[in-house]
A and B are shown apart, each in its own frame.
Chain A
Amino acid sequence: MTESQNTGTFRVLAACLLGAAMFAVLPDFATSPIRDIVRLGILPGQRLVGSIVASAESKWRNAIDQQLADQQQRLDELRTEVANSQFRERRALLAAESASQQLAAVERHGASPFAVEIAPPMIRPRAVRAAVLGREILSDVKSRRILDQGNTDGVASDLWVLNGDLPIVQAGSNLSVADGLPVFAGRCVVGRIVEAGRWTSSLQYITDPGFRARAVLAQVGVDGPNAAGVQFSFGVEGLIEGRTDLKQNGFCELAQIPATEQVDVGMPVYSPPRDAVDAPMLFGHVAAAELSPGALHWVITVEPAVNVNSVRRVEIVVPELSTDFNSSVPNRTFAPASAETQLAPRGVTSRAPTKPDSRLSGGILPNHRRGSDS
């Protein structure tokens, strides 16, 4: 390096250091414009880096969220699979227990010397879906505009059921609907048929005075972290009935529940298992429960699971005799006297109303159950 270059370098160095010293010595108002210019020059780059970092963070979070969602979905699937497996396991255990009991019975009493054939169920419940007729149609019917037209075709007025102010459902004995049959909306009890006509029937809601049916309080217990593990335990049987003072609020009353029973607000009220139908059907939930001092029974107000005022379609469960019952038993050793003798007492197609259950005074039990219960 030549001396002139060294001198030039030294001069530049001295000038720069002098500039730095002046930068340090000068007041802020003199140096701040220069610094502001530099900051303004850096600002676009900072914004660019900030947007890149924000975009990367957003993408990273999205990727993490997606991964978490996938894992959650997989977890849910596994949970469902586990729940299904547990359900199948429980069913298998129950089947095994039943088989074990049968085996024990066979060991205890000995095996039957006869060839055993499993007979199909004689009575099969069948649901008839029917519409609840609106007020306008009912008023037309009551004003005999429809009936007058029907008279010309030989339709008599007694084929219609227009029982006072009760709602009318569009199903009658032509669909095997008979008196006292239970009426459901899904798995919820709506009421019962009080009078079945040819094409229509009168419906008595569970909130209507005069409705009475057996019911049980259910205790809901959760077995496991999923819904498939929900278990019900049923308590003592009571009597659910409609009352005039509760009807205006859309409630009914559950009576005959002993004071020793535990009753909580919100507990579901079901029909007794294997009563009207095989599965317990929901009446509603406990809205209020009172136990007066010294009383033997609870006074329980039940809010129906279905708002009866908004129900437009209902299902009427009709017990139906299996038509191929005789033919499905190939080697039968006896034969019923006639088909009519079986049909008449159960009366699913009979026009004549059957007598209600003496204990329930009009409960929702179907006809074929009543005879056996009484």
Chain B
Amino acid sequence: MIRSVGLLIAAYVLIVIETSLQTETGLATPYGSFVWMLLPWLATQPSRSGSILAAGVYGLMIDAVSNHHPGLMIAATILVTCILQRIITPKFLETGPRVFVVSSGCAGLMAMLVATFSMLAGISFTSPFELLAGIATSSAFAALLTMFGVSVGRLFQRAILPAQSPAH
């Protein structure tokens, strides 16, 4: 429960940061790619139905801040969370490089689904490659940030909490 609330707060913060960066620097894409990085963590939650529901809320938040076809991001986040639930386990998120790989894979999956849904919904693009390039740039940036965040978090955890030897 605490983890779910923490992830929700993190999603809110990431959405806010992304929309601010979007207006300030143009680095982030209006697809909520920063929040995509939370989907692997959401997928490893014990309660699968709760994760799917939370993914729907994330999608709704992304959908609200991005002026795309309504429901597109909701469906994409739900489906990706569902897919990740079948693929990854909490062990995939233990180290920074693993988190980077999983986050990148999640971002790729989301990008494919967003592009597919956009084409199915008839949203006109200037170029699909431009869309994918934008998403890839933003996702890579977010994945790197996530990797560094996880690495620093693990270091702090090791420094603060004493190493516990396995019980004999």
Binding site for B on A (CB under 8 A): 1, 5, 8-9, 11-13, 16-17, 19-26, 28, 31, 34-36, 38-39, 41-42, 45-46, 48-50, 53
Contact = CB atoms under 8 A, between A and B. Distances in A.
A43 to B, nearest CB: 9
Dominant secondary structure at the B interface: helix
B57 to A, nearest CB: 9
A12 B70 contact: no
A9 B70 contact: no
B52 to A, nearest CB: 5
A8 B75 contact: no
B70 A35 contact: yes
B59 A20 contact: yes
B72 A42 contact: no
Given A16-B78, A42-B61, A24 B12 contact: no
24 contacts: A9-B52, A11-B49, A16-B52, A16-B74, A16-B78, A20-B59, A20-B74, A23-B74, A24-B72, A34-B60, A34-B64, A35-B60, A36-B64, A38-B61, A38-B64, A38-B65, A41-B12, A42-B19, A42-B65, A45-B12, A46-B20, A49-B16, A49-B20, A53-B24
B19 A46 contact: yes
A213 to B, nearest CB: 70
B48 A42 contact: no
Query: Closest 6 CB pairs between A and B?
Result: A24-B71, A45-B16, A23-B71, A38-B64, A20-B74, A12-B49
B13 interface: yes
A22 B24 contact: no
B65 A12 contact: no
B53 A12 contact: yes
A9 B48 contact: yes
B21 to A, nearest CB: 9
A21 B75 contact: yes
A13 B59 contact: no
Nearest to A49: B20
B12 A42 contact: yes
Contact of A46 (B16, B63, B79): B16
Nearest to B82: A13
B88 to A, nearest CB: 15
A38 B24 CA distance: 21
A52 to B, nearest CB: 9
B44 to A, nearest CB: 14
A50 B20 contact: yes
A344 B125 CA distance: 106
Q: Specify which of B52, B65, B121 lies most central, judged by the most chain A CB atoms within 10 Å of its CB.
A: B52
Nearest to B54: A16
A11 B52 CA distance: 10
Interface string B68-89: 0111101100110010000000
A20 B78 contact: yes
Contact of B78 (A13, A35, A46): A13
Contacts of A39: 64-65
Interface in B3-59: 12-13, 15-17, 19-20, 24, 48-49, 52-53, 55-56, 59
Contacts of A45: 12-13, 15-16
A117 to B, nearest CB: 81
B71 to A, nearest CB: 3
Q: Specify which of A23, A41, A53 lies most central, judged by the most chain B CB atoms within 10 Å of its CB.
A: A23
B52 A12 contact: yes
B70 A16 contact: no
A80 to B, nearest CB: 42
A42 B75 CA distance: 21
Contacts of A46: 16, 19-20
Nearest to B25: A53
Given A42-B12, A45-B13, A53 B20 contact: yes
A16 B56 contact: yes
A36 B52 CA distance: 23
